[in-house]
Amino acid sequence: MSTVTTKAKLKTSAMIASFADPGQKTTSAPFGHALVKAAEADSRIVGLTADLGKYTDMHIFAKALPERFFQMGMAEQLLFGAAAGMAETGLIPFASTYSVFAARRAYDFLCLDIAEPNLNVNIIGGLPGLTTGYGPSHQATEDMAIFRGMPNLTIVDPCDSVDIEQAVPQLAASDGPTYLRLLRGNVPTVLDEYDYTFELGKAKVLRGGNDVVFVSSGLMTMRALQAADALAAHNVDVAVVHTPTIKPFDSATVLAELNTGRLAVTLENHTVVGGLFETVASAVVTAGLGKRVVPIALPDQFLDAGALPTLHERYGLSVDRIVAKVLAELG
Amino acid sequence: MAAPTPERVDRIRAAAYRIRHYALTMGEVQGQGYVGQALGAADMLAAVYADQLTYRAEDPHWEGRDRFLLSTGHYAIGHYAALAEAGIVPVTELETYGSDDSRLPMSGMSTYTPGMEISGGSLGHGLTIAVGMALGLRLQGSASRVINFLSDGELDEGSTWEAAMGAHHHQLGNLTAMADINALQADGATDTVLRTEPVTEKWESFGWYTQRVDGNDVGALLAAFDNIAARSAASGQPSVILCDTKVGRGVPLLETREKAHFMRIEEHEWQICREQLTAGYEGTASA
């Protein structure tokens, strides 16, 4: 008779793990479907990818409009150079790859071929920040820091499927290049519960609160809202300001919220260097507010591989860690 | 394929002579610069602008135009000379080359100059953009062609080969590349910096219709373009003309000078350059 031993199941990393909570309402491939819808209304819209169509939801577009989809192979310099060339002929390209490859590998092509001539090319970056447990090769923890220095480029860090669905047609309609930090696959649907619409270049106050003000972007707005609910149980009243457009930044809306006696916290799925925190800090200093701002962000280091929930907990992006940080700050 | 007629060849040689002359005019403003490259590439530029391209000088953005992309931004001095020959840039404006507020900066940029399709200069970009333009034009039913000018130094860049693969994969028969093989790059002779040969075999293996010609032989250049015209529409195959050229071509003083990426020419030498250029052109015009 053999002895059966059961080992505890290990949490494993997956390239494209969803960060949705168990049971959370989600929407499938919002970017792909939104792009098809936009393209059906505007024949100038085309889609390109660099061998990552299936992993950036571009495959939805490729299937729906195959004659307007262009596979460029695993060649990111060609992807963005060609996107520029297509825009020069009057088309509106959406070109997708992972954020790491757009930001690190193809920067020169984005900068000189797309941003300098101010072309309407929309760069779609998958796996922004810490949305894969695959390790530093695929974790674009510094993409916004890299891109914020690029003139003409609009940077959008959407929270959820609502943001993405509403952003896509606005990105197509806006002159000049944009960078979208893509959330793909089964994307949480969060902002439909609020009186909210995405407006390119605008920050929105999602909820008011007397003790703390959160300024957040990307998936951290979802966490900010969850943490605000959790903090209510501690009798802490939290406001949440969502800033999906990182550049150009809606300083007016954010500074109006920060220029109060409340504890100010920024929350971002990005390194603490060069992202939302420093964007807000710059706005605060420029306005002469003299206001302390507490960052919740990824540390300035190459991150571990592993399961996303483990890593979000480890690096302070989980709701529990946010709540603990705020309570500690409030003393 | 019939050889290009003597009248056609003479017409393009005359255009090349004027392009060289304009390049010297611009070079003298700065006292130095990429004059050697401009002189070397003048026949290629003349064949493109005076024989091949469809364009409207008074409307450089006309939708039906063929696109000529200067990937090698530093060859702008030669490109401006060709744009002057084409009537797109006034000849009188050439003397502003490289000066403050000029529309003719040292490195070619689309936002500065009418007729300049792209901002080259960061090398290895032009062919990637050309692939996108060729795709975009084809998608929109345009019969316009795309010609991308690149250099042998740019064959060092991996992006050039990404684009070469992409053009073949997407069967871009409306795309032609011209490579100026002057065997010289910034740090010295190409074969000492990074060996790119065998260049012909490389392009052939990437699926391109490949011809290698003397890039200072106008007749050979025109014949190469004629060969492309005779087949590309049916083949869907991108074409490349590999052009062996001589730095400083047409001006013996510069042809024989030690080769340099950025050539210094003394004040008193400019007139000698012009005289040598004219003597050479007139002496062989009827040959």
pLDDT digits (tens, 9 = 90+) for A107-131: 999 999 999 999 999 999 999 999 9
Q: What are phi and psi of A133, to 5 degrees?
A: -90, 20
Q: Is A67 on the interface with B (CB under 8 A)?
A: yes
The confidence score (pLDDT) of residue B285 equals: 42
Say yes or no to pLDDT of A5 above 80.
Answer: no
Residues B215, B43: contact at Cβ < 8 Å?
yes
Q: In 3-state terms, what secondary structure has residue A130? A: coil
Answer yes or no: is pLDDT of B232 > 80.
no
A99 pLDDT band, cuts 50/70/90, is very high
Model confidence over B163-187: pLDDT tens digits?
Answer: 999 999 999 999 999 999 998 888 8
A258 backbone φψ class: left, alpha, beta (φ>0; ψ -120 to 50): alpha
Query: Which of the listed CATH numbers 3.60.20.40, 3.40.630.10, 2.20.25.90, 3.40.50.970 matches domain B6-282?
Result: 3.40.50.970
Residue B148 reports pLDDT greater than 80: yes
Judge: B128–A88 Cβ closer than 8 Å, yes or no: no
In this predicted model, what pLDDT tens digit does every residue of A6-43 receive, in sequence order?
A: 677 777 666 666 788 888 999 999 999 999 999 999 99
DSSP letter at A104 equals: I
Q: If residue A60 lies in a helix (H) or strand (E), which one and from where to where?
A: helix A58-64
Q: Does B169 touch chain A (CB under 8 A)?
A: yes
Residue of chain A whose alpha carbon sits nearest to that of B62: A89
**Dist CA A80 CA A88 (whole Å):** 12
The per-residue pLDDT for A3 is 58
Rounded to the nearest 5 degrees, what angle is found at the Cα of B149, between the Cα atoms of B246 and A93?
A: 165
Choose the closest CB to B125 out of A67, A90, A112.
A112
* C-beta separation of B144 from B176 below 8 A: no
- Say whether residue A73 is in contact with chain B using an 8 A CB cutoff: yes
Give the Cα separation of A167 and A158 in Å (integer).
8
Nearest to A136 by CA among A330, A319, A311, A316: A311
Q: Which residue has the tokens 């060069």?
A: A274
C-beta atoms surrounding B118 within 10 Å: 28
Mean pLDDT across A74-99 = 98
List of residues 6+ apart from B165 with CB closer than 8 A = A73, A75, A78, B206, B207
Q: Is A76 an active-site residue?
A: yes
Residue range(s) in chain A whose domain bears CATH number 3.40.50.970: 26-188
A88–B135 C-beta distance less than 8 A: no
Q: Is A227 on the interface with B (CB under 8 A)?
A: no
Quote the pLDDT of residue B286: 40
Do residue A80 and residue B169 have CB atoms under 8 angstroms apart? no
- Dist. CA B36–CA B45, nearest whole Å: 14
Contact A27, A143 (CB under 8 A): no
Nearest-CA neighbor of B108 among B144, B83, B135? B83
Q: Which residues pair with A28 in a beta bridge?
A: A186
Predicted confidence (pLDDT) per residue in A173-218, tens digit = 999 999 999 999 999 999 999 999 999 999 999 999 999 999 999 9
Q: Is there a contact between B118 and A88 if contact means CB atoms under 8 Å apart? A: yes
Say yes or no for a CB contact (<8 Å) between A117 and B142: no
Q: In whole angstroms, what is the distance from residue B212 CA to residue B192 CA?
A: 21
> Which of chain A's residues have a Cβ under 8 Å away from the Cβ of B165?
73, 75, 78
Going by C-alpha positions, the residue among A205, A34, A206, A232 that lies closest to residue A124 is A34
Of A70, A75, A116, the CB nearest to B165: A75
Which residue in A109, A105, A85 sits closest to A97, CA to CA? A105
- CB contact under 8 Å between A85 and B111, yes or no, is no
Name the CA radius of gyration of chain B, rounded: 18
The model's confidence at residue B30, banded by pLDDT at 50, 70 and 90, is: confident
> What average pLDDT score do residues A233-255 get?
98
- Residue B2: what pLDDT? 84
- Does the pLDDT at position B254 exceed 50? yes
Q: What is the H or E stretch that residue B159 is in?
A: helix B158-169
Q: If you average pLDDT over every residue of chain B, what do you get?
A: 94
Round to whole Å and give the CA distance between B86 and B276: 24
Query: What residues does CATH 3.40.50.920 cover in chain A?
Result: 201-330
Q: A105 at the B interface (CB within 8 A)?
A: no
Q: What angle do CA B134, B138, B144 make, to 5 degrees?
A: 70
C-alpha to C-alpha distances, B83 to A137, B36, B145, B168, B274, nearest whole angstrom: 46, 18, 18, 30, 20
**Residue in B with minimal Cα distance to A82:** B132
**pLDDT above 70: percentage of residues in chain A:** 95
B154: DSSP letter: G
What residues in A contact B110, CB-CB < 8 Å? 117
Please, what is the end-to-end C-alpha distance for chain B in angstroms? 23
CATH topology of domain A26-188: Rossmann fold (3.40.50)
Q: Evaluate if residue A305 carries a pLDDT over 80.
A: yes
Query: Looking at per-residue confidence, does A51 or A2 come out higher?
Result: A51
**What is the rounded distance in angstroms from the CA atom of residue A66 to the CA atom of residue A59?**
9
Mean pLDDT, rounded, for A160-176 = 98
Contact criterion met (CB < 8 Å) for A77 and B124: yes
Question: Domain A201-330 maps to which CATH number in 3.40.190.10, 3.30.930.10, 3.40.47.10, 3.40.50.920?
Answer: 3.40.50.920
The tokens describing A329, both together, are 């700050």
Return the pLDDT at B184.
Answer: 87
Nearest to A85 among B111, B124, B133 (CB): B133
Give which of A214, A221, A273, A229 is closest to A245, Cα–Cα: A221
Q: By the 8 A CB rule, do A99 and A143 touch?
A: yes
Question: Please, what is the Cα angle at A280 between A279 and A283, to 5 degrees?
Answer: 90
Rounded alpha-carbon distances, angstroms, from residue B64 to A46, B85, B146, B252: 21, 20, 12, 40
Place of tokens 């447990």: A133
Which run of H or E residues covers position A62?
A: helix A58-64
pLDDT of B31: 84
Domain boundaries, chain B: 6-282
Q: Looking at residue B234, what is its pLDDT?
A: 63
Tell me how far apart the alpha carbons of residues A176 and A153 are, in angstroms, rounded to a whole number. Answer: 7
What are the tokens at A144? Answer: 């916004």
Q: Is B129 close to A67, i.e. CB distance below 8 A?
A: no
User: What gap in Å lies between CA A153 and CA A280, rounded to an integer?
Assistant: 18
- Chain B contact probe: residue of A42, A72, A114 with most B CBs at under 10 A: A72
